[in-house]
Amino acid sequence: MGKPTGFMEYQRETSTTVGVKDRIKNYKEFHVPISEEKQRLQGARCMACGVPFCQSGTMLMGMTIGCPLHNLIPEWNDLVYTGNWKQAYNRLLKTNNFPEFTARVCPALCEHACTNGLNGEPVSIKENEYAIIEKAYKNNWAKAMPPRVRTNKKIAVIGSGPSGLAAADQLNKRGHLVTVFERSDRIGGLLMYGIPNMKLEKEIIERKAGIMKEEGVTFTVNADVGKDFKAEKILSEFDRVILACGASNPRDIKAPGREAKGIYFAVDFLKATTKSLLDSDLMDEKYISAKGKKVIIIGGGDTGNDCVGTSIRHGAASVTQIEMMPKLPDSRTESNPWPEWPRVCKTDYGQEEAIVLFGDDPRVYQTTVKEFKKDKNGNVCQVVTVKLESKKDEETGRMAFAEVEGSEKVLDADLVLIAAGFLGSQKYVTDAFGVEVNERTNVKTEAGKYRTNVPNVFAAGDMHRGQSLVVWAIREGREVAKEVDESLMGYTNIFVQ
């Protein structure tokens, strides 16, 4: 702890953001980092707690507190303060394969568990992480380091999202020969096509993928395993197979009129925009445009917010975001004390932009869709919504949502985006490999393990645990790599914190 009184002397300071009316003109990241001198003072605010909740990654009241990767946060906070940036980078990389991703898209579970947050503002851990990794690239510390010895064991990783990439990175460093199969035309999975460019510019992914290639990882794109690539062939050619295909089944809205044209899943909307942006700077017009349209977004989570921000950049006439749950309080309640995850209302970048442009928060709470209405050409033209209230089910005794009689409301709509989450693995992949799935359609394994019912086949990430955060995907990728390595070698020296 380089500055014992740092948390009392310095106030929390984070990056500034480009103004709304300027940033919506493009799809670039819009945070402007603070100076190195100020960032070092932010490192000084860390208290080096005897029990650092920030790196605990444990469950409390059904929610994760602290970092699931168990990042050595107090250590590299102190190293940032003392200016030992290369050491900070080495400690950061000890537990996290991709800090360039998590420093941009992680919701910072660590900060919400920071002891400083009990009576004040938490340490700016996420931005310290960003500063460390970007300084590492600037100084060429993050260069490729291929393994010196190869085992000649061959491993196939199906899926190049954060879990698949983490597993590939760990196993390649161990000396195994790793091939990653990706069904899209670019590496990254959810990171590439599920997260908009303004949250994670795609050259950041390509930068890291380029280093992994230099280190010996083989990437095969446009490889839809289970369709174009036969599972039997992969099983015969590789010693081990890791399924890391994500939770790829979007949850649908079953309401009359669902067949109307102009209703899309959010993932398809976001992917089309990103692909067109990368292919042609949107000049090919091969995307689902929201320009001049009244957009209704069903779902109040991060994906729904991303749809708000993307629609605004398209030039939408209006944006409304429908949310089933009630609005959370603006600050912690007594029943939600630190260090629990704060169940408070979060206004994200897309909603901030909608408020500035349209004058109102786009979110409508405790509401669901009752019907989609079509015009004479079969295009969606209106959405009928109804308010919800929580009532006890007389049969089960459980609380459930019920419609509020007479609360129907008709909203004009030219484009509807369904952002209601994901249900689990895709059947054609699990069927191709013959792996068992549970009641949630996630690949079934023994608790805390990654080996499936099929010999030499493992599963990790959202395909294994269900829709979750990037940090959890990376952790599962690291853990499955260790289990695979041990199954191949009889022992393992792959480190998982």
> Cα dist. 257→21, 59, 304, 313, 380 in Å?
36, 41, 21, 28, 8
- Please give the CATH number for the structural domain made up of 154-248+423-489: 3.50.50.60
pLDDT at 396: 80
N- to C-terminal Cα distance for the chain?
22
Which residue stretches of 397-450 are H helix?
A: 427-433
pLDDT score of 366: 97
Given the structure tokens 């009244």, which residue do they identify? Answer: 294
CA–CA dist 466, 449 (Å, integer): 15
In words, the CATH class of domain 263-418 is alpha beta
- Alpha-carbon gap, residue 474 to 480, rounded angstroms: 10
Predicted local distance difference test score (pLDDT) of residue 16? 96
Closest Cα to residue 294, out of 375, 413, 380?
413
What amino acid is encoded at 493 in this protein? N
Q: H-type helices in 143-256, by residue range?
A: 162-174, 202-214, 231-237
- Ramachandran category for residue 259: left, alpha or beta (phi over 0 → left; psi -120 to 50 → alpha): alpha
Amino acid of residue 215:
E
- Residue 497's CB is within 10 A of a number of other CB atoms, namely 15
Return the DSSP state at 197. T
pLDDT in tens, the chain (497 residues): 678 899 999 999 999 999 999 999 999 999 999 999 999 999 999 999 989 999 999 999 889 999 999 999 999 999 999 999 999 999 999 999 999 999 999 999 999 999 999 989 999 999 999 999 999 999 999 999 999 999 999 999 999 999 999 999 999 999 999 999 999 999 999 999 999 999 999 999 999 999 999 999 999 999 999 999 999 999 999 999 999 999 989 999 999 999 999 999 999 999 999 999 999 999 999 999 999 999 999 999 999 999 999 999 999 999 999 999 999 999 999 999 999 999 999 999 999 999 999 999 999 999 999 999 999 999 999 999 999 999 888 778 888 899 999 999 999 999 999 999 998 899 999 999 999 999 999 999 999 999 999 999 999 999 999 999 999 999 999 999 999 999 999 999 998 87
CATH topology agreement for domains 154-248+423-489 and 263-418: yes
Phi, psi at residue 180, to the nearest 5°? -105, 125
Task: Give residue 395's pLDDT.
Answer: 79
Whole-number pLDDT of residue 470: 97
Distance CA 286, CA 281 (A): 11
What is d(CA 156, CA 177) in angstroms, rounded to the nearest whole number? Answer: 9
Distance CA 478, CA 333 (A): 36
Position 488 scores a pLDDT of 98
Q: What CATH superfamily is the domain 6-138?
A: Alpha-helical ferredoxin (1.10.1060.10)
* 180, 168 Cβ separation under 8 angstroms: yes
> What is the full DSSP assignment across 91-149?
HHHHH-S-HHHHHHH---HHHHT-GGGGTSPPP-HHHHHHHHHHHHHHTTTT-----S-
Tell me the two tokens of residue 424: 């689990």
Q: What is the spatial distance between Cα 170 and Cα 485, in angstroms, rounded to a whole number?
A: 9
Domain boundaries, the chain: 6-138, 154-248+423-489, 263-418
- Asked if 420 and 298 touch (Cβ cutoff 8 Å), the reply is yes
Query: How many whole angstroms separate alpha carbon 298 and alpha carbon 265?
Result: 10
Q: Is 3 exposed, middle or buried (0-12, 13-18, 19+ CB in 10 A)?
A: buried
Structure tokens that stand for 34 in this block: 């603070």
